[in-house]
Amino acid sequence: FFLSPKVEKKTQGKLQKRICQVVLEHFEQQYTAELGDAWSTVRDVLTSPWCWQHAVLLNRFSQSPGLEGSLAEQGYQPAFPAPLPYLPAAFRCYTSTAPARFPAQKHQPGRLKDYYLLNAASLLPVLALEVEDGEDVLDLCAAPGGKAVAILQCACPGHFQCNEYDDLRSRWLEQTIESFIPDPWINLLRFSKLDGRQIGDLQPEFYDKVLVDAPCSNDRSWLFSADPQQAVLRLMQRKELSSLQFQLLRSALKALRPGGSLVYSTCTLSRAENSDVISLVLNSCSNVMPVDISGLARGVSQEFTLLSGMQQHELLVLPEKGRAWGPMYVAKLKKVSST
């Protein structure tokens, strides 16, 4: 949809009232220190939902005639036009520079959806993971399921475990997969509700690839916390998240086979939950090494605004008007030997 200036102004006023000031003030202090001048641009996007964009990931298992033509008519173009280290032919995604939202499809039991609406930056962890046919894959924190759906657009894993500890989110995950993946393929998947911190001990050295899309302080949603008391509690608990993320990573590394690789991602700008967690893992695990993803970063730099000065094994997408994707942090590690 496109808003008239009058409606947009009215909408802006309504949305502005819903911004949680205690969270904004916290972010203001932290991210001014961490991002410098870049924070004001990012803040303008995060506090302006009317300028957010949605990508359209096509479902290769449900080809809808005329869908790509309809997307083109509405100004959508194929995402990731530049050469990337890994971009399977079946993986097709469309983006638009306008803050339009393609109509969502409702869940209908027994019928597959044609596409998935998502933040385009959330596809970067999947492209960094580089799953190949026949590999054993673990999605450690899989709900709501968008990245699992994206992985299955890329390859046919030999074994694919989608784990989600939270009961409600686990049901959401299963419904998402049901909506996009046909029955023969669903048989390749195994859903589990294990504590991610224990999977490494339960399934040591079982997987070729592991995705850890970790629980984090979700900057976009936290800014619109409806309950100020809940927001204060979240901010108090925020410093504990990096400890959980580190434990999840340690568990994921135990679950990896030697030679296997792991991608860690969050949807926060917070250095404590991003680079600091990865540095802690690299400094405390002698059998892990960073993997260079600068080729991926270069390939997507025309479509995404990336924070400069990052290490070669990581990238951070900063939302910007016209390409309001992210925040999304991605880092890649490789297990070189058994523990």
- Residues annotated in a binding site: 141-147, 164, 195, 213
Q: CB of 157 within 8 A of CB of 151?
A: yes
b/e string for 159-172 if b means 16 or more Cβ within 10 A? ebbbbbbeeebbee
338: helix, strand or coil: coil
Mark residue 277 as left, alpha or beta (left: phi above 0; alpha: psi -120 to 50; beta: remaining). Answer: alpha
Active site residue 267: yes
Q: Which residues are annotated as a binding site for S-adenosyl-L-methionine?
A: 141-147, 164, 195, 213
Residue pair 290/333 in contact by the 8 Å Cβ criterion: yes
Q: Is 319 exposed, middle or buried (0-12, 13-18, 19+ CB in 10 A)?
A: buried
Encoded tokens for 101: 């939202």
Three-class secondary structure of residue 94 per DSSP: strand
Q: What angle do CA 306, 278, 28 make, to 5 degrees?
A: 55
Catalytic hit among 20, 154, 267, 285:
267
Q: How many C-beta atoms lie closer than 10 Å to residue 235's C-beta?
A: 18
Name the residues annotated as catalytic.
Answer: 267
